Amino acid sequence: MGMTIAEKIIAAAAGAESVKPGDIHTVELDRLMSNDGTTHLTIDMYHQLKNPHIADVNKLVWIVDHNVPCDSVKTAASHKKMRDFAKENGIKFYEGAGVCHQVMIENHVTSGELIFGADSHTCAYGALGAFGTGVGCTDYLYAMVTGHSWLLVPETLKFNLTGKLKEGVYARDLILSIIGMIGANGANYMAMEFSGEGLKTLNMSDRIAICNLCVEAGAKTALMEVDEITLDYLKAHGREPKYSFKSDEDAHFAKVYDIDLSTIKPIVAKPHFVDSVVDAKECVGTHIDEAFLGSCNNGRLEDLRVGAELIKGRKVHPLVRFLVVPASAEVYKQALSEGLIDTFMEAGAIVMNPNCSVCWGSCQGVIGENEVLISTGTRNFKGRAGHKDSFVYLASAATVTASAIKGEIATADMLE
């Protein structure tokens, strides 16, 4: 029996010839990412151990991104704990460089690696053909101290992509459609694998957006076949693949979905569930108070270009706050040199430093009672962006920008 990409990566990391779904294996981790969401808790537990030590410090990357710059004395204390520990132990440390997953993809991740991240959206690394999976801080600590962990080999759902997205339709619309189709736990414990001719029409930014959101269907990881686009990205960033895996012809998939990209339409996920998706047209006219263009899902240069093109020569609606947050310092610099930041500011947008921002409901742009946010963020759970009685709609960069201009939910084709 052949193996899927997920099975091949686990087999390599476990030193096993072959693995099958349901097996539990001890695996060697290639990288361990942690951010300021929970690293302070990991450090507290580390000090409770009998012989605290780090198995291989070169595998660790710590990134401050959830509250940047620091917004309170309390978070300043947890950042200081993280910063001091990183310095003392020689851990690679970033602060202000961007959202952790974007920073990891720009600087560290390569194809075929097995990576634990103490953040649920670690599955984004599948865009580069790496097995990234989110863990809590205790699992992180165990891996940090021992260098390994245990993993249950997941079943794989295969998404065979054909065709091409129509103009005005984006990767965000595709992944929201898929989550709507399989449900918020439709891939629970499973890997979601993407392949097919349609994949070749999706650039690296699209691929990251798709893999990043797979945890919202419950997936353990997301994986894409390594191809020219992957290899070009790695080469441009000075890295080589560890492995370039493809699933075998006779690999076992729990289910195969055929998706024709040309059938996808602009989509909105309504409050308070990511799988509560509808055709964006059904939400047109819904009042909004704030719009957010950013996050590890849609804060890359490609997303900012889409937004800037729509808003050029137009204005943000006077009753709307439009937050634009590049996903990394690298993205920010490129956006500056392309004039995108000027365009947003001339239109009246609030451009912020790279960080998680309102996507995680702290630090910046939090919304008040009964307020409505339309966002390219990752989640729309009840209270996610602020007050417990507030509302978050998720959509593409185009729909979010069009809505910021109109002052209510609108699709890009509605702009005069």
CA–CA separation, 244 and 240 (whole Å): 10
Choose between 75 and 107: whose C-beta lies nearer to other proteins: 75
The binding track of 45-74 with respect to other proteins, each residue x by CB under 8 A or -, is: x--xxx---------------------x-x
Minimum separation from the CB atom of position 380 to other proteins (A) = 10
Number of residues that bind other proteins (CB under 8 A): 41
Residue 140 tokens, joined: 């992180």
Is residue 146 within the footprint of other proteins (CB under 8 A)? no
| Residue 31 within binding range of other proteins, rule CB under 8 A | no
Which stretch in 96-104, 201-209, 284-292, 357-365 sits in contact with other proteins by CB under 8 A?
357-365
Cβ-based nearer residue to other proteins, 74 or 315:
74
Cβ 212 vs Cβ 172: under 8 Å: no
Least distance (Å) between residue 383 CB and other proteins? 4
Cβ(357)–Cβ(386) under 8 Å? no
Helix 397-406 × helix 301-311 angle, to 10°: 30
Q: Which long-range contacts (CB under 8 A, 24 or more apart) does 388-392 make?
A: 391/271, 391/272, 392/271, 392/272
| Closest to other proteins by CB, 215 or 331 | 215
Distance CA 189, CA 221 (A): 8
CA angle 59, 63, 69 (to 5 degrees): 165
Residues forming a β-bridge with 63: 35, 94
Cα(164)–Cα(201) distance, rounded to whole angstroms?
6
Map the footprint of other proteins across residues 75-104, applying CB under 8 A.
75, 78
Smallest distance, Å, CB 217 to other proteins?
Answer: 10
Q: Which residues within the stretch 212-251 sit at the binding site for other proteins (CB under 8 A)?
A: 215, 218, 220
Does residue 130 touch other proteins according to CB under 8 A?
no
In 3D space, the residue among 235, 223, 230 whose CA is nearest the CA of residue 10 turns out to be 223
- Site for other proteins, rule CB under 8 A: 37-38, 41, 45, 48-50, 72, 74-75, 78, 118-120, 134-139, 141-142, 184-185, 188-189, 215, 218, 220, 273, 360-362, 366, 379, 381-384, 386, 388
